[in-house]
Amino acid sequence: MTNNFIQEFIEQSIYRIKENTPRIEKCLNLLTEDEVWHQPNASTNSIANLILHLCGNIRQYAVSSLGYKDDLRERDLEFSIKGGLNKSQLTEKLTSTIEAATSIIEKLDEKELLKIRSVQGFEFSGIGIIIHVTEHYSYHTGQIALITKLLKNKDLGFFAGRDLNIKNKNNEN
């Protein structure tokens, strides 16, 4: 693995992780405090519970495992809490979690990226953990966006001002 590859992987992963936080914040800004805790049905989590779940998961995978911190996660609590935190507190909890995770990720070297760790009963390399954090955060951001769209019947404009119909350029070298 070259240092350029490592740096590119880390930069792109952090970019993808960080692009989700403003999307979730945009959703929270459109919703009332009650809507954030609204559980659409018995099989669907509230947006607040999804945020608590993301914080727990990202702390367990990135902060605890990659950062060599104690694993203090109480996963069942992430889903059983039914109130008590407002939108501002949820945003702060999410933002501080992402900042802690990305500050650890940006300092990883080849040895740490390749080291196998046991997390939540799974065996992952540091690369696998970063991929998990990235895709898991994106997955639940999509759920939060969908619930917001269903509640507000509104386009969230995540790509407003961008022409997403631009064709790829042939970049042969």
Q: Identify the domain containing residue 7 by its residue range.
A: 3-152
pLDDT for residue 171: 73
Kindly state whether residue 94 falls inside one of the protein's structural domains: yes
Kindly state whether residue 169 falls inside one of the protein's structural domains: no
Kindly state whether residue 159 falls inside one of the protein's structural domains: no
Q: Which residue do the tokens 């954030």 mark?
A: 36
| Residues 61-75: tens digit of each pLDDT | 999 999 999 999 999
d(CA 103, CA 119): 19
| Residues 37-63: tens digit of each pLDDT | 999 999 999 999 999 999 999 999 999
Q: Where are the beta strands (DSSP E) in 99-166?
A: 116-119, 122-125
Is 85 in contact with 48 (CB distance < 8 Å)? yes
All residue ranges of the chain with pLDDT < 50 are none
Kindly state whether residue 157 falls inside one of the protein's structural domains: no
Looking up residue 7, the CATH number of its domain turns out to be: 1.20.120.450
Kindly state whether residue 117 falls inside one of the protein's structural domains: yes
d(CA 137, CA 62): 12
DSSP 168: P
Total tally of structural domains belonging to the chain: 1
Flag whether the pTM goes above 0.85.
yes
Kindly state whether residue 76 falls inside one of the protein's structural domains: yes
Kindly state whether residue 166 falls inside one of the protein's structural domains: no
